[in-house]
């Protein structure tokens, strides 16, 4: 799933078409077991037999999605909000592939308290988006027994794009696993 937002603004140099994209990476995990999270399924020994080859293939497929968005005029997204990211390593690996394709993105990421270890993050082109500030906010939930339910943080980013102040919120709400009646309180 991805969401594409185009912003057309005018400036002293004419029209600049900037695109902001949100992309669900659907379990972008590296192959290493993190003992602090429940990522065992995404290891070579886990349920999905998550190998280096599968991991690399997924990274290149994600990069291909962004490359396709850039066509036909090599107009890459200015900002990419991401969800279901395991850690900064997977972002760095994706960043390196995008750099090989000729586009530089900076990373905003922080590990969240989510039990599976999946986070939200942001990639932005520093030549287009001038970052001022970012902050992560915890989402505090509890189950029916009033026990904490740990989930992804919410990311709030502020900066200037095309001489306009732009605030971005990157959120990936808890899933509907267990059905609507079970998940409605969250």
What does the pLDDT read at residue 169? 95
Pairing type for strands 141-142 and 129-137 reads: unpaired
What does the pLDDT read at residue 7? 45
Enumerate the domain spans of the chain: 2-183
What does the pLDDT read at residue 51? 96
Pairing type for strands 79-85 and 14-28 reads: parallel
Residue 147 CA to chain centroid, in angstroms? 28
In this prediction the pTM is 0.84
What does the pLDDT read at residue 10? 37
What does the pLDDT read at residue 2? 44
Residue 82 exposed, middle or buried by CB count within 10 Å (0-12, 13-18, 19+): buried
- Give the residue ranges of the chain where pLDDT is below 50: 1-15
What does the pLDDT read at residue 139? 76
Residue 52 CA to chain centroid, in angstroms? 21
How many Å apart are CA 147 and CA 138, to the nearest integer?
Answer: 16
């Amino acid at each position: 799933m991805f969401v594409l937002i185009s912003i057309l603004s005018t400036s002293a140099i004419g029209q600049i078409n900037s695109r902001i994209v949100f992309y669900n990476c659907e379990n972008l995990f590296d192959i290493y077991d993190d003992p602090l999270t429940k990522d065992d399924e995404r290891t070579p020994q886990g349920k999905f037999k998550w190998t280096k080859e599968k991991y690399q293939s997924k990274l290149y497929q994600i990069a291909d999605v962004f490359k396709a968005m850039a066509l036909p005029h090599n107009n890459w997204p200015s900002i990419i909000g991401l969800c279901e990211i395991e850690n900064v390593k997977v972002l760095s690996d994706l960043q390196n592939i995008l750099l090989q394709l000729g586009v530089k993105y900076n990373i905003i990421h922080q590990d969240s308290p989510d039990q599976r270890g999946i986070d939200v993050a942001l990639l932005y082109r520093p030549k287009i988006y001038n970052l001022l500030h970012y902050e992560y906010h915890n989402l505090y939930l509890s189950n029916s027994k009033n026990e904490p339910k740990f989930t992804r943080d919410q990311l709030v980013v502020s900066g200037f794009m095309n001489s306009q102040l732009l605030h971005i919120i990157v959120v990936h709400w808890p899933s509907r696993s267990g059905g609507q009646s079970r998940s409605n309180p969250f």
